[in-house]
Chains A and B, each alone.
Chain A
């Protein structure tokens, strides 16, 4: 600091985004990886540091803003999208990021999650999904598996879990993606895409809580099985996966199915081709619901479409009103409606405002 308030051309580095606070996540926590990738991507975006704001709720994920050397607001549980909405609406030039978790966004924050996304306000929402409540030490979350035994469910969870991506699609998110803490390169590229999207952007990051829910994603992300069990989405390319790149996804009616290329006459042309820009998210929604073991786990950008953002339309209405009525004149406003003058001798006449 101390650059006299002048930021010239941006030669920012990752170090510029590291705050002076000691990071207090548990050693081995997946959050370190996410923090590192965000700090790596930030300098490349061409956005002045002072224009970046990180907003969070409550949870381990939500400690994130303290570790970023930007403006930050550690809010209350589940409500970061509301703070972020006000920040962005007040100053649309800011780059506003929301850091949240599976409990913060989908339990107490479910309502705000839906509406912030629905409005297509230009917020970059990253949800750290570790399928557990970490900060409060091990209760189940809305994304915990059915039957899971936790501190508050010793006989097993009887809630059916929710899929964050499904909720994001239902809320009409214009950018939807998924990545994982254990794949830093992939994570960095997804965060970069998120940063560049204009509109409600949502990324689910599979994150490992090594203390309260260790190994939650090993079933598909362990090194030896990852290639066979992960489907990397690429816009315009057919959905192919597997170590030997010989498996694919095609639609049978409205049901997706895994096929082996070459077997039973299946050719590459039969496979689904990924289209991020499809106006209706139906196919993206289907992809978002693919789960192991029936299917590989899809990663990458599911949807990226454009439509006018809330803050742009808000500004446009103001500009339009000024155009039609002229800039607000307070004297005129106070004197609007039926006015009358009381003269010094007590007589009165109706008055008309004159500028």
Chain B
């Protein structure tokens, strides 16, 4: 069967249904924050990945744990794009919206494509909820939704009737409606139930009655959709042509955590993670705390400052020192990062960026901490900076960050963001053999030892850890004399050391790969990006290239120092366009360093770029 065909096909089981083939679908689940939409979304994603679609996700959490029931700020959403070809974004707009209550409809309806499928839980459309959502009239009863294909279902009632012989409190049974919604969507998109049923068995092993209720809800919904005439058509999205290999679904924060465990293994150093819970980085702490059998020591500190302090102490003592946070936490850590720069201690600081400034938008994505990472410390205080480009890339860049820190004896800032951290995609699992090696050599020979001796190539100082006889020395935050490491205020020495520290970070460029160009090496427009804009940029550029446009893209994963060839790459294009989820931070750095009149394209809405937005912008310069 030709997977690209869109001709309807008769489905044998229920002759009144048509099965249509689609290449790609974007679906958004939305409900009250207690409605379990995140779980519905992640299950649908996992199933889609297992059956071979390429997937990309965008969870959209509300900031509060439980906002007032039915309120607009309480709406929680989950969008995913699943496809039979290679995709890199969760979709610009949903083709399908599942709205479990009026507030979810109110918040999300404007994004649904005209003619899109809308599934609503009519049981939630009662006066109280309509009022909370700001509806004067019930939108299900007027013609405000006439531009969509609306499916009105009493999902709560259907769930309760499916579970009427389950002995659980009413409230608990109602909560199963998210699995009911899931079952409906599984039927609508021709997905198997088994992966979710297996997952429920495992997850609810200690609460079998709840597990049973959830399974019944999924199955009942599927059967309901199959036997009724509610949906006349259902859809099939075929397997994507994915490179042969072994895959798993992975979320960015999970990949980050695994990456640092892997780094500690290949470096042969115990991992010490000092952290303080903060959205959207807390998952990294949770994940790492479950791997004690790898010797991972996680330390939930009293505050952000203690978290990095302990990581620096642990690194001083010879561990791979790691700390993780979001924007406000990075601000708190600045002084300690300065100490690590002066004392030349290898640590990695993870920043999963979120909307700011200040407390900002904790659950929304942004990439506006690049300049904070570059400059946010007193005096000349350079640190290396890396930034993963996709959820799966979080794994490799974690190893890279560790390699740079340990080889060059410097702090490294690892810039992820909420979209990467919570987003997921299929990941081709690397074999351990294929992972890079990180060579770590502690100093042991006292002969000729000084704390501030320099490696000829990297300018790194020796790593002499407490417990090593004969190498007793003192380091700290005061300026140090070259070689001896004694406290020193001499003017010439200070000038020399400031420049030496800058040069040490600059020389990291010798050890990082050149930036690659996607498309022709020269042309009219180069779209340059960093961090999570990779998916949208690459998709937009690909679309334009297919129409013959003279546009290429490049994505920097090393922000300080930049790859050696970046200047040269930029020079071969008429226009350099830099889309960023900030007011032009990479643009500022690129303009300053390369004297190129790069154009900044900003979006600071707490949401990723849409492919269409980028296509429209790029077209202005073609």
Contacts and interface: CB of A to CB of B under 8 A. Distances in A.
Contact of B468 (A50, A79, A328, A346): A50
B313 A76 contact: no
Interface string A315-355: 00110111011111011011111111111101110110000
Nearest to A343: B244
A342 B245 contact: yes
A97 B445 CA distance: 25
Given A86-B272, A115-B302, A318-B292, A79 B473 contact: no
A297 interface: no
A326 B294 CA distance: 9
Interface string A190-213: 000000000000000000000000
A328 B261 contact: yes
Contact of B430 (A51, A334, A338): A334
B310 A82 contact: yes
Contacts of A65: 474, 476
Interface residues of B, number: 79
B268 interface: no
B606 interface: no
B195 A348 contact: no
Contact of B476 (A69, A73, A89, A114): A73
A19 interface: yes
A71 B52 contact: no
Interface string A33-57: 0000000000000001111011110
B470 A339 contact: no
Given A73-B476, A91-B466, A83 B297 contact: no
A330 B261 contact: yes
Contacts of A346: 52, 239, 241-242, 244
B193 interface: no
Contacts, number: 242
Interface stretch (B28-36, B102-110, B246-254, B357-365): B246-254
Contacts of B477: 74-76
A348 B52 contact: yes
A74 B476 contact: yes
B339 interface: yes
B469 A112 contact: no
A325 B313 contact: no
Interface string A72-93: 1111100101111111111101
Interface centre among B313, B335, B477, B486, by most A CB within 10 Å?
B313
Given A91-B467, A330-B265, A339-B248, A73 B306 contact: no
Nearest to A19: B474
A252 interface: no
A244 interface: no
A152 interface: no
A5 to B, nearest CB: 5
Nearest to A65: B474
Interface residues of A, number: 76
A73 B309 contact: no
B469 A82 contact: no
A7 interface: yes
Given A333-B291, A334-B432, A2 B310 contact: no
Contacts of A71: 466, 472-474
B469 A339 contact: no
B305 A79 contact: yes
A56 B477 CA distance: 11
B293 A111 contact: no
Nearest to A64: B474
A261 interface: no
B150 interface: no
A264 to B, nearest CB: 50
8 contacts: A74-B477, A83-B309, A87-B317, A327-B294, A330-B261, A335-B429, A340-B246, A346-B239
Given A74-B475, A85-B299, A334-B262, 11 more contacts: A3-B469, A7-B469, A82-B310, A112-B306, A318-B295, A320-B292, A328-B295, A333-B258, A333-B261, A333-B291, A337-B250
User: Which 7 interchain pairs have the tightest Cβ spacing?
Assistant: A86-B313, A74-B476, A82-B309, A328-B294, A86-B310, A72-B474, A321-B292
Interface of B: 46, 49-52, 195, 239, 241-250, 258, 261-262, 265, 270, 272, 274, 291-295, 297, 299, 301-303, 305-306, 308-319, 321, 335-336, 338-339, 343, 429-432, 444-447, 449, 465-478, 486-487
